[in-house]
Amino acid sequence: MIGRVVEQTNDRETNLLAEIDQLRLEIVRLQQLNNDLEIALFTTAEHGDMIEAQLHAANQKLQAEIVEKVQTQTALKQAEEKYRSIFENAIEGIYQVTLQGNYLNANPALAELYGYDSPAALIAQLTDIGRQLYVEPHRRDELMAYLKRFNAVSDFESQVYRKDGSMIWISENVRAIRDAEDTLLHYEGSVQDITARKITEEELRRQRRLAEQLLLNVLPQPIAERLKREQKTIADSFSAATVLFADIASFTELSSHISPIELVELLNHIFSAFDKLVDHYGLEKIKTIGDAYMVVGGLPEPKADHVEAIADLALALLQEVTHFQTAAGQPITLRLGIHTGPVVAGVIGTRKFSYDLWGDTVNIASRMESQGEAGHIQVTTAVYNRLQKRYELEERGIIEVKGKGLMRTYWLLGRKSA
């Protein structure tokens, strides 16, 4: 019995020891688990701090970006409002136009410039500006060509139609708008009304043309050009020129029978007809002195046939004057004289100046006229020598020429038959 008890006691002791060992192992496991948990908690806390720091930094950056974005948006809005104000209140017309000729945008100034009630009305009604706006449609084609080549065009002037059909002049400053691939998308620009300036310029041109025409009425064109170049003194010597004087015979007696107005009108008609003949033969009218008419050949530009041209003019003047008569039916006759030789030509005076000739040739030509006869052309030997082969001439004889003495003279009768 006791042995059994001892045996049972030993068994329980063994079991107890086993349980104690088991408990020890469990304690070790739990201690290890506790250590792991502590490490995990520590690690988690450490990560949390780092994440919190990162979140804080990200939040700060985000807030900065938001502030920056708000500031940028505010600046953009202010800039947009500024440019919108400029666009809406600009004095110049401002626009954007498609390549097809439609307005994308237009400001009120442009609408008013073209006579439309609003930019919207202008955009709606002008759908092909090449055809509807430009008076000369090729002007827009030219503008497009310049834009494609240079990307910008300044002071491009055109005449355009307003809504009511009236026309004005405009000046455009235009630039091309392209995408990243350099493709032309549309163009934009500004417009100024330059009609007043164009009218002023045209009036100045008209006045200049009038002044030049008036200048050419009193001076040969080469001489007028030299004066316009502000040449101070014009005095040229010519070794060979031919001078003609024509005078209405019995003018004093004629003038006593008609009124001054009729006399002036008659002289105007006669000398106007003579002017046309002078131009026809390429000669230069110098002046009229009362009823006398003075012409020269061979200056201011050299003319090889100046003697022949003056002879032909003299014959034509004799023929032309037969078409005129007084109101009372009195015929008009001329007395003409010609001489050829050296002369000096120049401009005298600063007001009402004139281009005139000086020299012995002029004096002798005048004597040939004054000492001639009505209906005749008296010429000197020098002229005779130049014309005798192709013109009919008749010797008048030797006459006493005032200031020159005795001179042999001839009558010019006409051209010889071919």
Catalytic residues: 367, 402
3-class DSSP assignment, residue 393:
strand
Other residues' Cβ atoms within 10 Å of the Cβ of residue 176: 21
The torsion angles phi and psi of 92, rounded to 5 degrees, stand at -80, 150
The two counts, helices (H) then strands (E), for the chain are 12, 13
Q: Quick one: DSSP state of residue 134? A: B
Cα–Cα separations (whole angstroms), residue 294 to 5, 42, 95:
181, 129, 64
3-class DSSP assignment, residue 144:
helix
Beta strands in 319-415 (DSSP E): 334-348, 354-358, 376-380, 391-401, 405-415
CA distance 343 to 236: 8
Q: Quick one: DSSP state of residue 331? A: B
The torsion angles phi and psi of 86, rounded to 5 degrees, stand at -60, -45
Contacts 24+ apart (CB under 8 A), 185-189: 185/99, 186/96, 186/97, 186/98, 186/99, 186/104, 187/96, 187/97, 187/99, 187/147, 188/94, 188/95, 188/96, 188/97, 188/105, 189/94, 189/95, 189/153
* Contact in structure between 346 and 234 (CB atoms under 8 Å): yes
CA distance 339 to 243: 6
CA distance 216 to 239: 25
